[in-house]
């Protein structure tokens, strides 16, 4: 199982993730986030990061031209759109870089209806917990709302995932929807402070999850 660690703000920790075999690291480019990466490092430091890890830029309702400039300035491999971006905006960006469109889910969402206009214009989806604002809430949503669905697009599973969820994640992979499960996304439950990860916790989780 692939792993994405989001909200990174420290180059040394990104390099440690690379050594652990983590496939994706997320940098948040949303100024209102406590993990806003430009408070901690300039674009050139992000661009200089090398290795097998894929650099993902997380944006919320940013101007398309600003996103594309940041992709170039930081050497990003993928873009995660976590706001109210329209299918047309997603399509324009996906013509330049791979796009992950995030959806914040609640119990009564018609998920297939919610994603239908994005199927042909995005490369991947991410499912997170519905909250009052944008970005992660650190809380889980009920994964059962996804069970039995045919998403037809690789997706990241996010939302307050922590170390003791490994067994539940293994159970989730037995459902038919998991044929499209591309990666697990972790963040706040593995932090010492916003943007700084507890690397022992991350290492333990990565070791366990890759046995699924």
Sequence ranges of the domains in the chain: 2-209
Bridge partners for 56 per DSSP: 26, 78
Residue 109: is its pLDDT beyond 60?
A: yes
Residue 136: is its pLDDT beyond 90?
A: no
- Residue 118, both tokens: 């994005």
CATH 3.30.750.24 assigned to domain 2-209? The reply is no
Would you say the pTM of this structure is higher than 0.75?
Answer: yes
* Number of residues assigned to the chain: 212
* CA separation for the pair 33, 12 (Å, rounded): 21
pLDDT (average), residues 87-108: 95
Contacts with 109 (C-beta within 8 Å, 6 or more apart), sequence order: 130, 145
Band the pLDDT of 12: cuts 50, 70, 90.
very high
């Amino acid at each position: 199982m692939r792993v994405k660690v989001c909200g990174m703000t420290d180059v040394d920790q990104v390099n440690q993730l690379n050594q652990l075999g983590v496939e994706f690291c997320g940098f948040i480019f949303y100024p209102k986030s406590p993990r806003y990466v430009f408070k901690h490092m300039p674009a050139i430091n992000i661009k200089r990061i090398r290795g097998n890890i894929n650099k993902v830029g997380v944006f919320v309702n940013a101007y398309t031209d600003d996103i594309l400039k940041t992709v170039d300035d930081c050497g990003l491999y993928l873009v995660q759109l976590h706001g109210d971006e329209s299918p047309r905006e997603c399509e324009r960006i996906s013509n330049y870089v791979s796009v992950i469109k995030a959806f914040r889910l609640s119990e009564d969402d018609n998920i297939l209806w919610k994603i239908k206009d994005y199927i042909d214009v995005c490369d991947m989806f991410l499912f997170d917990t519905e909250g009052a604002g944008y970005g992660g809430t650190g809380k889980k949503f009920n994964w059962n709302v996804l069970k039995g669905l045919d998403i037809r697009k690789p997706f990241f599973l996010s939302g307050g995932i922590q170390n003791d969820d490994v067994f539940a994640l293994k159970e989730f992979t037995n459902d038919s929807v998991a044929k499209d499960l591309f990666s697990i996304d972790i963040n706040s439950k593995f932090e010492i402070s916003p943007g700084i990860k507890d690397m022992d916790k991350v290492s333990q989780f990565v070791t366990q999850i890759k046995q699924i």
